[in-house]
Amino acid sequence: MSRMTSRFAACSALAIMMGAGGAFAQTTTVTIATVNNGDMIRMQKLADDFAAKHPDIKLEWVTLEENMLRQRVTTDIAAKGGQYDVMTIGTYEAPIWAERGWLLALDKLGEDYDAEDILPSIRSSVSRDGVLYAAPFYGESSMVMYRKDLMEKAGLTMPEAPTWEFVGQAARAMTDKPNEIYGICLRGKAGWGENMALLSAMANSFGGRWFDMDWKPQFDAKPWKDTLTFYLDLMKDAGPPGASSNGFNENLALFQTGKCGMWIDATVAASFVTNPAESKVADQVGFALAPDNGLGKRGNWLWAWNLAVPAGSQKSEAAQKFISWATSKDYLNLVAERDGWANVPPGTRASLYENPAYLEAAPFAQMTLDSINAADPTNSAVEPTPYVGVQFVAIPEFQAIGTTVGQQFAAALAGQTTADQALQNAQRAVEREMRRAGYPK
Amino acid sequence: MARATTTRRKALMTALGWGVAFVIFFPILWTFLTSFKTEAEAVTTPPKFLFFDWTLANYHEVNSRSNYMRFAMNSVIIAFGSTLLGLLVAIPAAWAMAFSPTKRTKDLLMWMLSTKMMPAVGVLIPIYILFRDFRLLDTHFGMVLVMTLINLPIIVWMLYTYFKEIPAPILEAARMDGATLRQEIVDVLAPMAVPGIASTVLLNVILAWNEAFWTLNLTTTKAAPLTAFIASYSSPEGLFWAKLSAASTMAIAPIVLLGWFSQKQLVRGLTFGAVK
């Protein structure tokens, strides 16, 4: 009898364990790799809403600095490590990785997702053959942020769509070096996503391009010389000292502490510089489109942070449920409800820019939309190009060549070399790398 | 007169010593101070040294966003686990090389050190694939193993140097008295080499604690140590310097305290055998 009892007990225990195991097995853990940007951190905080809607999915977050994240996810995806189910990637990686079959097509985002609502320029940069391979979480372009008080003091009025000539004139007029006020702050730190983001976009407006249709680098052509000379002269006359080590954060700190008259950088900066808790000049900031030279292209870039599912993920269904939640219209409403409309991730959905509540809360909204619409990644330069991308060239080699050229231009800004020498070195280095990589393909 | 000069010289040297120490310590002090500032005050120029509105908001924010204890526990497991495993291998190795050297011992030591000369990123992909195939990615065991292998040359070298200072006749005497190999190492050699072993342990714990290439590349969530915790607060688009400073202060606090309490052993171990 006692043997029977113990057998029964053992069977019951096994059944309970199996039942419990079954219950545990239903919970899927989705690991998300993301960057440490304000909008991403907010998403992490609001994830309780997703947990309430999907109690069967548990989210694990890995937050890393942008360059570290890029290296980490590239290693994992190339080695098929399968460590992540959702990856945050930029518009540079999205087309390259989709082409290599590293990303899953996002075809389970749900019927009410409304992909048609995503801004066309952003959608085209993360799609391949009309299929989404990454869902944009927030999009950004670049624009001019300027100090209204300093502009008025200089006796000038900023037009809504300024030319480079006006920007140069205004920067010099606003500069007051003894009082540490510099007319313009621009990126100088070397890197494909640092100074080259600005200079590549700027070259587009000067009629330049990275490559001609035969993949021949164009640094020996006149537009690049005009771009670099204009940039170096402007920074010499009206830029802050030590500009060759300034990136986004350094210029943000300078602008927020009242040391810059103008700053041309990412539209996402608008919410920082207009926040009175962080910025000394919050009530004096005006916005304008990135400058042009009357050639039909403005000097603004286009970037978006997107969520994608790596091909090695075993949990693609749960991962797509999360992506659908984070990039949906409902998510925008959720942010607005909890943190206000000004904090909604910008630049992805057309419907957001038709929402009067958002337009009222975010004074920079229209300028952001116009800047994004003005950028065309498939047709970024005045002359035709064989590549996709506004401030980058969407080929795997670009990270290396972009940074090499960036180092040459940063050296010219620091006064270690001349503009001509820097352009020559850039031309030679890029020619060599492209030959080695087997272009034209 | 001579005495006065000595006193003045002493005072000067003391001041110089304090000055150098302050310069070396300053980045840590600045990180500590910044962690109590608001984000706006953290970037203000001229910088504020002590007179600002002290706030604990950054610590609150960091604690609410990340599970500090989980990262800290992983750091403890990886740092101490790898040091322990390293010692188990390195003590017999250093013993053999110090007391039974062959004509190739020097070459062997040099070869071990040469493994430190290659940039880590050069072997990232092979190691990553090995870890993937052995299912070691994001595991404590995998991290202890890789950290042991990285620090092993340093452990062996340090112990070898200390063991060389111990007179071989003492070990011979133990052998004459019938000590077994285990007794010779554990009961005779180890007690004499305690300061050396202690400083080796401390240095390796510090190195493993601060290692930020492999720990960032081979972990995701389960085995991620404090280096990953700090990395999550660094941002190229947005000034989060005060929060980053708070995270850094929390990450280095345990190891700074450990170093503080054991500085006597550390200094003794590092200068062991320097003056005879």
| Cα distances (Å, whole numbers) of residue A361 to A65, A336, B143 | 29, 10, 48
Chain A, nearest residue to B41 by Cα: A278
Least confidently predicted of A15-19, A34-38, A311-315, A400-404:
A15-19
What's the pLDDT score for residue B198? 86
**Inter-chain CB proximity B128 and A266 less than 8 Å:** no
Least confidently predicted of A180-189, A280-289, A406-415, B110-119:
B110-119
**Inter-chain CB proximity A278 and B45 less than 8 Å:** no
Q: Do A285 and A396 belong together in one domain?
A: yes
Q: Do A24 and A102 belong together in one domain?
A: yes
Average pLDDT of span A322-342: 94
Q: Do A318 and A393 belong together in one domain?
A: no
For testing contact with chain A, the best of B61, B220, B222, B229 (most A CBs within 10 A): B220
Q: Do A194 and A146 belong together in one domain?
A: yes
What's the pLDDT score for residue A440? 80
**Inter-chain CB proximity A31 and B45 less than 8 Å:** no
With an 8 Å Cβ cutoff, is B63 touching chain A?
A: no
**What share of chain B in percent tops pLDDT 70?**
95
Degrees (nearest 5) of the Cα angle A371, A69, A376? 20
Asked whether the beta carbons of A402 and A236 are under 8 A apart, the reply is no
What's the pLDDT score for residue A10? 52
What's the pLDDT score for residue A20? 44
Residue A370 inside a domain? The answer is no
Closest by CA position to A391, among listed A208, A235, A218 = A208
pLDDT at A347 exceeding the cut of 80:
yes
Residue A423 inside a domain? The answer is yes
What's the pLDDT score for residue A17? 43
Q: Do A325 and A396 belong together in one domain?
A: no
Across A230-239, A355-364, B33-42, B153-162, which has the greatest mean pLDDT? A230-239
pLDDT at A19 exceeding the cut of 80:
no
Interface subset of B 103-132, CB within 8 angstroms of A = 124-125, 128-129, 131-132
What's the pLDDT score for residue B273? 54
Q: Do A201 and A335 belong together in one domain?
A: no
Average pLDDT of span B183-202: 86
Q: Do A97 and A184 belong together in one domain?
A: no
pLDDT band, residue B5 (cuts 50/70/90) = low
Tokens of A20: 């419990």
Q: Is the dihedral of CA B84, B85, B90, B96 positive or negative?
A: positive
Residue A254 inside a domain? The answer is yes
Q: How far is it, in rounded angstroms, from Cα A186 to Cα A167?
A: 12
What domain count does chain A have? 2
For A55-104, write each residue's pLDDT tens digit: 999 999 998 888 888 888 888 988 888 899 999 999 999 989 999 999 99
pLDDT band, residue A14 (cuts 50/70/90) = very low
Residues of A with CB under 8 A from a CB of B: 31, 33, 35-38, 41, 44-45, 60-68, 71-72, 75-76, 78-84, 247-249, 252-253, 256-257, 259, 266, 268-269, 272, 277-280
All residues of chain B having their beta carbon less than 8 Å from the beta carbon of residue A41 are: 65
Q: Do A225 and A333 belong together in one domain?
A: no
What's the pLDDT score for residue B21? 94
pLDDT at A235 exceeding the cut of 90:
yes
What's the pLDDT score for residue A11? 47
Closest by CA position to A145, among listed A303, A288, A292 = A288
Least confidently predicted of A24-28, A56-60, A174-178, B225-229:
A24-28
> Residue with structure tokens 């011992």?
B105
Closest by CA position to B242, among listed B98, B34, B9, B16 = B34
Degrees (nearest 5) of the Cα angle A341, A347, A348? 100
Nearest CB to A72; choose among B217, B221, B239: B217
Q: Do A228 and A163 belong together in one domain?
A: yes
- A286, β-bridge pairs: A146
pLDDT band, residue B245 (cuts 50/70/90) = very high
Residue A178 inside a domain? The answer is yes
pLDDT band, residue A53 (cuts 50/70/90) = very high
Closest by CA position to A40, among listed B138, B70, B233, B64 = B233
10 Å CB burial of residue B180 (0-12, 13-18, 19+) is: exposed
> Residue with structure tokens 């950054």?
B58
pLDDT at B85 exceeding the cut of 60:
yes
Q: Do A152 and A269 belong together in one domain?
A: yes
**Inter-chain CB proximity B237 and A249 less than 8 Å:** yes
pLDDT band, residue A333 (cuts 50/70/90) = very high
Asked whether the beta carbons of B226 and B72 are under 8 A apart, the reply is yes
What pTM, to 2 d.p., does this model score? 0.83
Average pLDDT of span B20-48: 89
Phi, psi for residue A225 in degrees, rounded to 5: -65, -45
Q: Do A87 and A192 belong together in one domain?
A: no
State the residue range of the domain holding A80: 2-140+303-361
> Residue with structure tokens 């820097």?
A422
Degrees (nearest 5) of the Cα angle B33, B19, B211? 55
Q: Is B145 helix (H, G, I), strand (E, B) or coil?
A: helix
Distance from CA of B239 to the nearest CA of A (A): 6
More confident residue, B19 or A70: B19
Q: Is the dihedral of CA A362, A250, A413, A377 positive or negative?
A: negative
pLDDT band, residue A24 (cuts 50/70/90) = very low
Average pLDDT of span A221-236: 97
With an 8 Å Cβ cutoff, is B21 touching chain A?
A: no
What's the pLDDT score for residue B270? 66
What's the pLDDT score for residue B235? 78
**What share of chain B in percent tops pLDDT 90?**
55
Q: Do A149 and A245 belong together in one domain?
A: yes
pLDDT band, residue B52 (cuts 50/70/90) = confident
Average pLDDT of span A423-431: 97
**What is the ipTM for the molecules in this complex?**
0.80
Residue A25 inside a domain? The answer is yes
Residue A113 inside a domain? The answer is yes
Cβ-proximal residues to A298 (8 Å cutoff; 6+ apart), any chain: A161, A204, A205, A289, A290, A291, A292, A371, A374, A375
Least confidently predicted of A284-298, A307-321, A362-376:
A362-376
Q: How far is it, in rounded angstroms, from Cα B20 to Cα B25?
A: 9
For testing contact with chain A, the best of B45, B230, B235 (most A CBs within 10 A): B235
Q: Which long-range contacts (CB under 8 A, 24 or more apart) does A413-416 make?
A: A413/A188, A413/A195, A413/A231, A413/A232, A413/A235, A413/A243, A413/A244, A414/A188, A414/A244
Residue A374 inside a domain? The answer is no
pLDDT at B144 exceeding the cut of 70:
yes
Q: How far is it, in rounded angstroms, from Cα A374 to Cα A288?
A: 13
**In this structure, what CATH number is given to the domain that contains residue A314?**
3.40.190.10
> Residue with structure tokens 């300027």?
A146
With an 8 Å Cβ cutoff, is B43 touching chain A?
A: yes
What's the pLDDT score for residue B65? 86
Closest by CA position to A185, among listed A150, A223, A140 = A150
Residue A367 inside a domain? The answer is no
For each of the domains in chain B, give its residue range(s) and CATH number, in order of start: 67-270 (1.10.3720.10)
More confident residue, A427 or B3: A427
